[in-house]
């Protein structure tokens, strides 16, 4: 995303089926008795967990007003600053190690835990949803995400009643992600939602796309998808969910507070300080279409903001 460099920052379907299948098959294979075979089976069984989730059953509540973006287009035009400040980061992102992947859930929760991403995913109600995605740079796409509602993760985390926000953080591994060696960025990439936003039906954790596990460049193994907000809110490759009573300072807010805010709800009538948000280019089509308030998801989310008139909701 284009940002004006400023001195301040210039320098410095559910767990039951896969688990049952996993354990039964494992028992059977172990019963064969050959150590070598059993070892191979364990490895095979682990790799088998994810394929069983795909393709997940599509949830018909989330429909599109446009064609799904071609897979090749969506998987080769990406924003992932950890791998560079341009769109052709797909190759560089392959350096990211995603197995094993630990996710920490901490802060104001009943009990802090660190859990393997696969174990977490197996506990979640996985489904497919068709979502629009509108980047603050005025381009958009429409993709079939596989994943689970963020509110299922909230139920698992058991936040304390005083928690007001969930803060989400991307990995920090400069050895794998060359962009993180650019020290003037406030790594790790951080985003946040209010608890009301995170509990909204639309807030989704994507683990796959196009009926397959997420490619690394799109934020494997798990990323946020909040389609009523500008794309930068949809933080990729999450390693930590922290529940807090303090509004998190986000990556883009730290970089350009006059251009990128905490709320970042899509609104065609509120221009970015340096460009209009009235229309968007649908990537892969060469067409521009009018941008919609809340990216067309007002019926799901407008109520979240009815008592927030003093806030800059659209940047
Ligand atoms: N998450 C991290 N960790 N790093 C990033 O640079 N870019 C954001 C968002 N999530 C970004 C990120 C922006 S600006 C957009 S538009 C989307 O990811 C792009 O997602 P896509 O590459 O899957 O289209």
The CA distance from 251 to 232, in Å, is: 9
Ligand 1 centroid to Cα of residue 41, in Å, is: 36
Choice from 192, 193, 219 to test ligand 1 binding pocket (greatest atom count within 8 A of CB)? 219
Cα separation values, 88 from 73, 93, 95, 245, 305, Å = 11, 10, 14, 37, 36
Please report the sign of the dihedral spanned by the C-alpha atoms of residue 200, residue 140, residue 120, residue 108.
negative
Length of the chain measured in residues? 315
Ligand 1 centroid to Cα of residue 236, in Å, is: 6
Along the 315 residues of the chain, how does pLDDT read in single tens digits? 655 544 333 333 332 333 333 333 333 333 333 333 333 333 333 333 467 899 999 999 999 989 999 999 999 999 999 999 999 999 999 999 999 999 999 999 999 999 999 999 999 999 999 999 999 999 999 999 999 999 999 999 999 999 999 999 999 999 999 999 999 999 999 999 999 999 999 999 999 999 999 999 999 999 999 999 999 999 999 999 999 999 999 999 999 999 999 999 999 999 999 999 999 999 999 999 999 999 999 999 999 999 999 999 999
Ligand 1 centroid to Cα of residue 62, in Å, is: 22
Tokens of 207: 């683990």
- Per DSSP, the three-state class of 193 is strand
Ligand 1 interacting residues, C-beta cut-off 6 A: 1, 78-82, 135, 170, 189, 218, 231-232, 234-237
Ligand 1 centroid to Cα of residue 42, in Å, is: 34
Ligand 1 centroid to Cα of residue 34, in Å, is: 46
Cis peptide before 188 (omega within 30 of 0): yes
Q: Which atom of ligand 1 is nearest to the CA of 80?
A: 6
Among protein residues, the one whose CA lies closest to atom 3 of ligand 1: 236
Which positions ≥6 away from 236 have C-beta within 8 Å? 80, 170, 189, 218, 219, 223, 224
Cα separation values, 1 from 44, 57, 90, 234, 259, Å = 40, 34, 16, 14, 11
The CA distance from 129 to 80, in Å, is: 22
Tell me the residue ranges of DSSP E strands in the chain: 102-107, 113-116, 127-134, 139-149, 165-170, 190-194, 204-209, 212-213, 223-225, 238-244, 279-282, 287-290
Cis peptide before 84 (omega within 30 of 0): no
Among protein residues, the one whose CA lies closest to atom 21 of ligand 1: 78
Among protein residues, the one whose CA lies closest to atom 9 of ligand 1: 232
Residue written as tokens 């791998």? 83
Q: Which atom of ligand 1 is nearest to the CA of 230?
A: 16
Ligand 1 centroid to Cα of residue 116, in Å, is: 23
* The pLDDT value given to residue 36: 38
The CA distance from 274 to 47, in Å, is: 46
The CA distance from 203 to 149, in Å, is: 6
The CA distance from 28 to 25, in Å, is: 5
Tokens of 241: 């969910």
Ligand 1 centroid to Cα of residue 260, in Å, is: 14
Choice from 231, 250, 256 to test ligand 1 binding pocket (greatest atom count within 8 A of CB)? 231
Residue 71 gets the label, from left (phi > 0), alpha (psi -120 to 50) or beta, of alpha
Task: Please compute, for residue 56, the number of CA atoms within 13 A of its CA located in the half-sphere on the CB side.
Answer: 32
- CB contact at 8 A, 66 and 289: yes
Among protein residues, the one whose CA lies closest to atom 8 of ligand 1: 232
Among protein residues, the one whose CA lies closest to atom 19 of ligand 1: 79
């Amino acid at each position: 995303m284009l940002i004006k460099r400023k001195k301040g920052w210039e320098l410095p379907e559910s767990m039951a089926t896969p688990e049952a299948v996993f354990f039964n098959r494992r028992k059977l294979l172990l019963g064969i008795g050959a150590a070598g075979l059993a070892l191979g089976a364990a490895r095979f069984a682990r790799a088998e967990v994810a394929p069983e989730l795909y393709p997940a059953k599509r949830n018909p509540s989330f429909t599109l007003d446009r064609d799904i973006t071609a897979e090749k287009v969506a998987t080769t035009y990406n924003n992932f600053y950890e791998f560079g400040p341009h769109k052709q980061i797909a190759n560089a992102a392959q350096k990211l190690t995603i197995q094993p992947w630990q996710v920490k859930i901490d802060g104001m929760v009943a009990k802090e835990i660190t859990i393997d991403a696969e174990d977490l995913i197996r506990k979640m109600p996985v489904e497919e949803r068709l979502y629009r995605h509108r980047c603050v740079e005025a381009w958009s796409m429409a993709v079939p995400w596989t994943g689970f509602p963020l509110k299922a993760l909230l139920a698992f985390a058991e936040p304390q009643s005083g928690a007001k926000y969930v803060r989400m953080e991307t990995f920090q591994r400069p050895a794998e992600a060359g962009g993180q060696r650019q020290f003037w960025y406030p790594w790790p990439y951080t985003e946040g939602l209010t608890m009301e936003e995170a509990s909204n039906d639309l807030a989704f954790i994507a683990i796959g796309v196009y009926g397959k596990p997420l490619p690394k460049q799109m934020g494997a193994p798990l990323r946020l998808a909040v389609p009523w907000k500008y794309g930068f809110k949809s933080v990729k490759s999450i390693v930590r969910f922290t529940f807090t009573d303090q509004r998190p300072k986000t990556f883009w807010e730290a970089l350009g507070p006059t251009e990128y805010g905490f709320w970042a709800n899509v609104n065609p009538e509120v221009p970015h300080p340096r460009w209009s948000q009235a229309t968007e280019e649908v990537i892969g089509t060469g067409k521009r279409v009018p941008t919609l308030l809340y990216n067309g998801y007002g019926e799901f989310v407008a109520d979240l903001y009815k008592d927030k008139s003093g806030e800059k909701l659209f940047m």
